[in-house]
């Protein structure tokens, strides 16, 4: 039995080093979600863009604009990015920095969803975001 325990420990270590379900895999998934969202903005695919938003963000966008998401999202004038530069994952939350924007995401059962976009850093204050959840 002792060999079995060591084998499991080695397998877990190898899985962790390979990024198997670890931070690297979550970072990659968050980056892919942002790339899909950015592509929807570039192609005016509002159905896909609205589908990429977290429920609270979608609700807040529609309520503040007093329009359905398909009309409110283009009016938000979000910057469109070409590339992801950096991803930070903290548990179920992520910050993705692109060449033109900073976005925040949360992990949901169906994958990563955008909770805030069009965000600008402010010294010693929270980010200022064009869209965010309520």
SS3 sequence, 4-51? HHHHHHHHHHHHHHCCCCCHHHHHHHHHHHHHHHHHHHHCCCHHHHHH
Q: Of 17, 83, 80, 72, which is closest to residue 50 (Cα–Cα)?
A: 72
Say how far residue 129 (Cα) sits from the centre of its chain: 14
Number of domains comprising the chain: 1
CATH code for the domain in which residue 85 is found:
3.10.450
State the average pLDDT for the chain: 87
pLDDT, residue 18, reads 39
For 4-47, how does the pLDDT look when each residue is reduced to its tens digit (9 = 90+)? 444 433 333 344 333 446 889 999 999 999 999 999 999 999 99
For 42-51, how does the pLDDT look when each residue is reduced to its tens digit (9 = 90+)? 999 999 999 9
Whole-number percent of the chain with pLDDT over 90? 81
* Cβ atoms of 62 and 69 closer than 8 Å: yes
- For the entire predicted model, the pTM comes to 0.82
* Structural domain boundaries enclosing 60: 2-132
């Amino acid at each position: 039995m002792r060999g079995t325990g060591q084998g499991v420990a080695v397998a877990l270590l190898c899985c962790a080093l390979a990024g198997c379900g670890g931070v690297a895999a979550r970072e990659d998934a968050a980056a892919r979600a942002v790339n899909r969202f950015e592509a929807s903005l570039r192609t005016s695919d509002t159905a896909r863009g609205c589908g990429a938003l977290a429920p609270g963000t979608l609700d807040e966008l529609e309520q503040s604009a007093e329009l359905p998401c398909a009309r409110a999202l283009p009016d938000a004038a979000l910057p469109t990015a070409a590339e992801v530069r950096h991803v930070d994952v903290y548990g179920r939350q992520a910050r993705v920095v692109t060449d033109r924007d900073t976005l925040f995401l949360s992990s949901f059962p169906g994958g990563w969803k955008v909770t805030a976009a069009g965000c600008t850093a402010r010294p010693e204050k929270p980010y200022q975001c064009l869209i965010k959840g309520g």
